[in-house]
Amino acid sequence: MSAFLTEPRLKAIAQVVFSSHEIRYTRKLADQPFKPDIYVPAKLLIIEFDGPRHFSSSQVILRDCTLDAWAAQHGISVVHVPYFIQIDARTFPLIFQEFLSSELEEMLLEYKYPHGFIDPRAVLPADYCYLGVQRYYKALTYFQPVASEVINSLCAWVLKGKHPQTVYPAMENGEFMHKIE
């Protein structure tokens, strides 16, 4: 099992994917205070790598919402890639808004890592703030092709002996999410 996706790895892959386009990394957009992780002006695409703080800090989440609103006003798509999602043939088109070529698919083998909360140090959804839980469910919807793998990774923590309330996020009704059949 190779390393999980990180912002530097995402940037390295984006550089290959968009090799014929200008890519801006962490530079402010126009007169806005935003510094997107990856911006491809020719594609009107921003790709953000969202680590645990993007799920546990309401200030970070609200800043992301402001970026999303500004980008939408300017016709720019924003894709948020959560730390529990990896790049593979199913997620590649969702992240890069491009088709996956066979040469890129071969390159991605280097980044093969399971989707979900695999690393023992991973922040689990039970530790997300309210806005983070909403963002988590939104991410599962966007990355639907791999959502069951993410959810099953949480189930694995419970099977290993962690209490469900320390693993699963609370739902709107105050109950805790369990495995989706």
Tell me how crowded residue 162 is: count the other CB atoms within 10 A of its CB: 15
Percentage of the residues of the chain whose pLDDT score is greater than 90 = 71
Give the pLDDT of residue 28: 66
Distance from C-alpha of 82 to C-alpha of 5, rounded to nearest angstrom: 9
Which are the contacts of 180, defined by CB distance < 8 A and separation ≥ 6?
A: 147, 148, 151
Give the pLDDT of residue 31: 65
Average pLDDT over residues 57-74: 94
Per-residue model confidence as pLDDT tens digits over 84-118: 999 999 999 999 998 888 888 888 877 789 999 99
Mean pLDDT of the chain, nearest integer: 88
All structural domains of the chain with their residue ranges: 7-166
CATH architecture for residues 7-166: 3-Layer(aba) Sandwich (3.40)
Q: Which phi and psi (to 5°) does residue 91 adopt?
A: -95, -20
CB 168 within 8 A of CB 125: yes
Going by pLDDT thresholds of 50, 70 and 90, the confidence category of residue 6 is very high
Cα 51 to chain center, whole Å? 8
Percentage of the residues of the chain whose pLDDT score is greater than 70 = 88
CB 92 within 8 A of CB 130: no
Per-residue model confidence as pLDDT tens digits over 137-166: 999 999 999 999 999 999 999 999 998 889
Going by pLDDT thresholds of 50, 70 and 90, the confidence category of residue 32 is low
Give yes or no for residue 124 having a pLDDT over 90: yes
Sheet holding 77-82, edge to edge: 38-40, 45-50, 77-82
